[in-house]
Structure 1
Amino acid sequence: MMESWILIVLVVMPGVWSQNWKVTFKNQCAIQGTSVVIKCKYSYPSHHVVKSVHWYKALPVSGTWMLFRLSRNFRYVGDSVSDCSLEIKNVQHTDEGRYYFRFETSYNRWQSRSYAQLSVKELTTVVEPSTVTEGNNVSLTCVSGCPTQTFIHSFIHSVWFRDGQPVTNPAFRARREDAGRYYCAVRGQEKVTSAPVALNVQYAPNNVRLSVSPSGDVIEGSSVTFSCSSDANPPVTQSGYSLYKDGQLVSSGQTHAIAVIQPSHSGRYYCQAWNNISWRGVEFIKSTEINLEVQYHPMNVTVSVDSPNVVEGSSVNLVCSSPANPAADNYTWYQRTDSSSSQLLHVGSGQVLSLPSVEASHTGLYLCKARNRLGETNSTEVLLTVEKKKGSLLFQILSGTGVALFIAFVIILLLFWVKRKTHAKKKAVFDVRSSGKGSNSSSTEDQSNSIYTFPSSPPPGPAAQDFTPPSHRNPNHEHDGNTSCEDEVTYSTVTIKPRNPSLPRHMNSNAPQQSWSTAGENDDSVIYATIAKSS
């Protein structure tokens, strides 16, 4: 009978006592890698003394939940009065589950009927938007994955990093240098971080560059390759590059090769890059210009003469010119005096061949040879012709012409004088004979007559009429005198030898009115006769 009562008491007493036995929990959500404390409170009758406390985790075994005592990374942070909190360090996903608390007193023991649920999550970084065009806004958010009411850490206490460097502001205007991998952490536990999230900042081509290979001197005939590059996001494709020369499109593509470069390829080159992203409204971004100078030996050498007419004694300059890069630094002049000869005579140096006083020996073919460090080239031959002085030639021509005209004029005068003399002589003889028919003085056949022809104007002295015999005077003298001005008058001098030379000479000069016969007796008589030549 006594044993039955004891059993009844043992069964009934826990129910009675259970009214004072109690364990309360709060479910927890922890971030992987952090430490978490499961808050716990327990109560028991006041006259009991707690002797021991234990935490257990329920694990499924063969379909049945079984309690296992905790060991690793667990630490009891409560007391033996009312606090039964449990700390878990470096929480991992394996720590998720149900946790039970059991304690013993001096009179009894108690295990919680409910359990504390622990959830393990990870920090998550949210970048909005994750791909952004330069200049647009970006915001960063750190998400724990735990319900707000169960997460013990505030989002205010999160910190941000980009590629290991702290980020002060989780909201900003994107720049190209803001691109990178972002993650967050809980302040005070910065080693526990979220998985990184990449921010992709797209921007137009930047730092567009054009390079030429080889980079040194570019020699005619060598090969040259142009290459264009840039910093851009997204990267510029092959079709996004274009090469220009002096503003004209050369080709499309990132590279352009010239197998055999020529002087005509010299110019200013640049390339453009495009990736469909604009910068300040500009989509095609230019590189800096490269001035390509193709070096070549002298070519198309020419010789020019500064004066078109080269006269003896004058000066002339022959100028040699040639395009070359670098410029020709040596000029040599040669003369070919004989076009049939292959020998050349060296006549000078320098770009200008100066001949200060040209001579006939300077006539010939000239050429110059231009040279730089890359080679040399001859010019075509230029003929230099030296003319005689125009003044001396004209003088010789005029002199010759004058002498010829003078000689011709003298000959004409002589011929005219002889003709006139002959005609006058014939006329005088005829008139003398005609006038001597009625006088004794007409016998002049043995006398020698000298007839002189004078110019048409009468000689000085007495008028010819005074010496004309009265028998020959024209009764119509006045009329004849008027007409004699129109006729050509010839004066003839007739010398008659006297028959008696012993007569005194003074008798001749004092008898101008004597008869024709009296005059014939003088020593030396002069008779002027007028001969009228009919027209």
Structure 2
Amino acid sequence: MITVLVLLIMAEGTLSSGWSVTFENKNPCALKGSSVEFRCSYNYTDGETVRETAWQRGTFKNGSWTRVKLSDLPSYENRFKYIGDLQHNCSLAIHDLQENDTGYYYFWFDTDKYGRRSKESVYLSVTGLSARVYPERVRAGDSMTLECRMSCQLPGTVWFKDGHPVAKPQFQAQAEDSGNYLCAVEGHESEPSDPVALDIQYPPLNVSIEVSHTGHLTKGSSVNLTCSSAANPATDIYTWYKGTVFSSSSMLQVGSGQVLSLVSLEASHTGLYLCQARNSVGENNSTEVLVTVNQTDINRVILLVGIGVKVVIMLLIPLVIIWVWKKRCNSAVDKKEHSHDYENISTA
């Protein structure tokens, strides 16, 4: 009886020894949102006919490890496709991968004689991308690195800033580099990471002064000087300096705040004005602006005097002409009258 049992076991081993399941890649890694293909082949004893195939997902259920067909899991509905056959190809494709698809996958098939399931499995890792800037606080002129994080090793990554390609992930930061950055796996640019904002801090740039009044500044009038700049963080300290018309080498502080108001102007307000803008990163100066205050508006006086003189002249010329003309007429009459006083009278 014992001999017969041993022979039966040996016979079953012989029948079963001809089957196998082989996975081309037992540890694939794929990007969230992309697709993956498990390349697989299987063999069985000659003379058997395959009736059914299925892929299963390993999972804990009621505290124990079990295998569940993908077709029985609602989360895989319309996302997987068996691309093998009933001969020797057992490949599987899964689409629109999610991070919770990470796990163990097994192949199972039935022949007309036996039902078999693979002892080994495919372990799928699904990774999302996480963009990061290092260091987190960057100042203009600092060296910085863009880092694309993922849970497994994938081919090279590419970077984009506000939709435009970035040449390299390491560079010296400048003010214009501020923006939103995201990374993607090369060849899978349609599944990028969430964007990360890069905020470059820089001292005030393009510091300039705007004068509220153009033209002549006369004694007693008023004028405002406004300082503006581009800065990150915003400029929080403005300081005003004044130097003489002939020299700006020794300037004295004359005010603070973004606007310098000069009221009731005097000749002493004449000079070169400069604004210094400062934030937590640094400071920069504007170019000097010349303010000139005239005691009187000489040009206007000269103009008015000139007009007055012209008017007087225009009025006097006709009067002079009339006077001269009348004088000449009177002179001619007098001559005629006086000529009879000396007429010769002959004597008889």
Partner residue of 1:272 out of 257, 273, 276? 276
Structure-2 change in CA distance of 1:179 and 1:14 (3 Å): farther
Partner residue, 2:318: none
- Match for 1:245: what amino acid? K
Is it true that 1:162 corresponds to 2:161 in the alignment? Answer: yes
Question: Residue 208 of structure 1: CA displacement?
Answer: 0.8
Change (3 A) 1:37 1:218: farther
1:267–1:326 Cα change, 3 Å: farther
Tell whether 2:189 aligns with 1:185: no
Residues 244 and 327 of structure 1: is their aligned pair in 2 closer, same or farther, counting only changes over 3 Å?
farther
Unaligned residue ranges in structure 2 (runs of 5+): 72-76, 244-250, 311-348
Mean CA deviation greater in 201-210 or 136-145? 136-145
| 2:151 equivalent in structure 1 | 145
Matched ranges for 1:432-447 at <5 A: none
Displacement of 1:33 after TM fit?
A: 1.2
Q: Secondary structure at the match of 1:47?
A: coil
Q: Which residue of 2 aligns with 1:243?
A: 240
Tell me by how many angstroms 1:243 deviates.
1.5
2:183 maps to amino acid: C
Deviation per CA, 1:295-326: give whole Å up to 9, x if none.
7xxx6xxxxxxxxxxxxxxxxxxxxxxx3275
Check the 8 A contact 2:137/2:199 in 1, yes or no: yes
Quick one: which amino acid aligns to residue 37 of structure 1? E
Contact 1:294/1:325 (CA < 8 Å) preserved in 2? no
- Please show how residues 212-223 of structure 1 align to structure 2 within 5 Å: 212-213=211-212
Looking at structure 2, the residues matched to 212 and 93 of structure 1 have their Cα atoms a distance apart, in angstroms, of 61
Distance 1:143 1:92 in 2: 17
| Alignment deviations for residues 231-250 of structure 1 (CA, whole Å, 9 cap, x no partner) | 2233322x2x2122333322
Matched, 1:112 2:109: no
Output the CA distance in 1 between the equivalents of 2:58 and 2:44: 24
- Name the amino acid aligned to 1:22: S
Q: Is the CA contact 1:130–1:198 (under 8 Å) kept in the aligned structure 2?
A: no
CA contact (8 A) 2:155 2:186 kept: no
CA distance in 2, matches of 1:20, 1:223: 104
Q: Is the 8 A contact 2:54 2:69 kept in 1?
A: no
Within a 5 Å distance, the mapping from 1:258-407 to structure 2 comes to 258=262, 260-264=263-267, 265-275=269-279, 277=281, 284-293=283-292, 323-324=296-297, 327-329=300-302
The one-letter code matched in structure 1 to 2:70 is: R
Q: Give deviations 1:381-407, integer Å, cap 9, x for gaps.
A: xxxxxxxxxxxxxxxxxxxxxxxxxxx
2:69 aligns to what?
68
Deviations, residues 412-462 of structure 1 (Å, cap 9, x unaligned): xxxxxxxxxxxxxxxxxxxxxxxxxxxxxxxxxxxxxxxxxxxxxxxxxxx
- From 115, 127, 142, the counterpart of 1:121: 127
Q: Structure 2: how far apart are the matches of 1:326 and 1:197?
A: 62
**Counterparts of 2:125 and 2:36, CA distance in 1:** 10
Whole-angstrom CA distance in 1 between matches of 2:46 and 2:222: 102
- Alpha-carbon distance between aligned partners in 1 of 2:88 and 2:151, rounded to the nearest angstrom: 31
Q: What is the match of residue 414 of structure 1?
A: none
Q: Indicate conservation of the 8 Å contact 1:212/1:226, yes or no.
A: yes
Alignment check: 8 A CA contact 1:124 1:145 kept:
no
Relative distance call for 1:61 and 1:242 in structure 2 (3 A) is: same
Letter in 2 for 1:51: R
Q: Secondary structure at the match of 2:190?
A: strand
Give the aligned partner of residue 82 of structure 1: 88
Amino acid corresponding to residue 130 of structure 2 in structure 1: T
State the distance in 1 between where 2:128 and 2:114 align. Answer: 41
CA–CA distance in 2 between the matches of 1:59 and 1:202? 50
2:206 and 2:12 map into 1 onto residues whose CA distance is 83
Return the offset for 1:291: 3.3
Which one scores higher on RCO, CA 8 angstroms, separation ≥ 6? 2
Match of 2:33 in 1: 33
Displacement of 1:223 after TM fit? 5.4
Structure 1 residue 285: Cα displacement: 1.9
Report the counterpart of residue 280 of structure 1 in structure 2: none
How many residue pairs align between the two structures?
A: 289
Give the superposed CA RMSD. 3.5
Look up the equivalent residue of 1:134 and give its one-letter code: A
Structure 1 residue identity aligned to 2:170: A
Q: How far does residue 220 in structure 1 lie from its aligned partner after superposition?
A: 6.0
Alpha-carbon displacement from aligned partner over 1:84-140 (angstroms, at most 9, x marks no partner): 222211211232333222112243222223433323221233433343333343333
Structure 1 equivalent of residue 20 of structure 2: 22
Q: Name the counterpart of 1:102.
A: 108
Alignment partner, residue 390 of structure 1: none
Q: 2:261 — aligned with what? A: 257
CA–CA distance in 1 between the matches of 2:43 and 2:106? Answer: 15
Distance in 2 (CA, whole Å) between partners of 1:15 and 1:167 is: 61
3-state SS of paired residue (1:117): strand
Q: Does structure 1 conserve the Cα–Cα contact (< 8 Å) formed by 2:159 and 2:181?
A: yes
**Alpha carbons 2:140, 2:200 under 8 Å: kept:** yes
Name structure 1 gaps, 5 residues minimum.
278-282, 300-322, 333-347, 351-535
In structure 1, how many angstroms separate the alpha carbons of the residues matched to 2:11 and 2:132?
57
Q: Is the partner of 1:329 in helix, strand or coil?
A: helix
State the partner residue of 2:46. Answer: 46
